[in-house]
Amino acid sequence: MTVIGAHLSSSKGYLNMGRTAISIGANTFQFFTRNPRGGKAKELNLEDIHAFQEYAAAHGIPLVLAHAPYTLNAAAKEGRTREFAWETMADDIRRMEALPGQLYNFHPGSHVGQGVETAIGLIADCIDQAVIPGQTTTILLETMAGKGSEVGGRFEELRAILDRVKYPEYMGVCLDTCHVYDAGYDIRDHLDEVLEEFDRVIGLSRLKAIHLNDSQNPMGSHKDRHAKIGEGTIGFDALLRVLSHPRLCHLPFYLETPCDDAGHGEEIRKLKEALHGI
Ligand code: FE
Ligand code: FE
Ligand code: ZN
């Protein structure tokens, strides 16, 4: 059973997102924990969470993926900006624990001229300060396109972060197809080799989720501009190979393509239809 969904607006709460997911043919979803530019999160609504848990059990939503604001920079130069990153992450994790056992994804950060090595240490420190011992939430590092001074464009950088954190057992990786392609990994024509490299450097057991996006730019462009499924440089067939790959097909997949909910529903329908044809 393929677990696939899309990024949804979180403004109306968990139950509403669950209903939207089911209405577009999805059985999971991703959402921002708060305004993607940062800022305060809404009050936790335990009633909504309980209603969602019942709905998810009844409709077969096995898990969901929360995404941290993308403006956080755990590797910032200024102490205050780093403090903001770990405070936000700590608050997000605390809130996620109200819905146990989910995934929490974040962008490792940008080294802003300090160098990758320094950044890796700062990112690991940030995670260590945010973690709650005994937490049930899995923290995911997202593979990045390597735009500007972004950390996480190479598998080795993510591995180095995983090696530095105090609680690696709470950690995993989310592979974004647009990002890795833009970073220079040829998932279009050499998927098996890329997965072998991921396995050698990080370990495929660390891979917990996939962001399934096409890219507007060529391989190695370091741009990070998502395209609709089949309308980019990766293409429909290559993305279908990711979705159906025996080493990946058990993972949850999330579309972050430039579509509204109905558009995501259409993409999910086409992908599922093609999957059945394999
Ligand atoms: Fe992301
Ligand atoms: Fe992504
Ligand atoms: Zn992106």
C-alpha span between 188 and 209 (Å, rounded): 18
Cα 252 to ligand 2 centre (Å)? 13
The CATH number assigned to the domain holding 43 equals 3.20.20.150
Ligand nearest to the CA of 72: 1
* Active site (catalytic) residues: 37, 67, 70, 107, 142, 176, 179, 211, 224, 226, 256
The boundaries of the domain holding residue 151 are 3-276
Strands (E) located in the chain: 3-7, 28-32, 65-67, 103-106, 109-110, 138-142, 150-151, 171-176, 207-212, 214-215, 226-227, 252-255
Q: State the residue for tokens 């997965």.
A: 195
Those residues whose C-beta lies under 8 Å from the C-beta of residue 183, and which sit 6 or more positions away, are 143, 144, 145, 146, 153, 154, 220, 222
**pLDDT confidence of residue 44:** 92
Nearest ligand (C-alpha, residue 216): 3
First-to-final CA distance of the chain: 14
Count of structural domains within the chain: 1
Tell how far the Cα of 227 is from the centroid of ligand 2, in angstroms: 12
For residue 231, the model assigns a pLDDT of 98
For residue 145, the CA-to-ligand 3 centroid distance in Å is 8
pLDDT tens for 78-123 read: 999 999 999 999 999 999 999 999 999 999 999 999 999 999 999 9
Distance 142 CA to ligand 3 centre (A): 9
pLDDT of residue 278: 84
Whether the predicted pLDDT of 43 surpasses 90:
no
What pLDDT shows up at residue 42?
84
Question: If pLDDT is split at 50, 70 and 90, which confidence band does 37 have?
Answer: confident
Q: Ligand 2 center to residue 96 CA distance, Å? A: 19
- What spacing in Å lies between the alpha carbon of 107 and ligand 1's midpoint? 6
Q: What percent of the chain has pLDDT over 70?
A: 100
What's the rounded Cα separation, in Å, for the pair 74 and 136? 22
pTM of this structure = 0.98
How remote is the CA of residue 41 from the centroid of ligand 2, in Å? 21
Looking at the CA of 36, which ligand is closest?
Answer: 1
Among the bound ligands, the one closest to the CA of 254? 2
Mean pLDDT of all residues belonging to the chain: 97
* Span 180-198, average pLDDT: 98
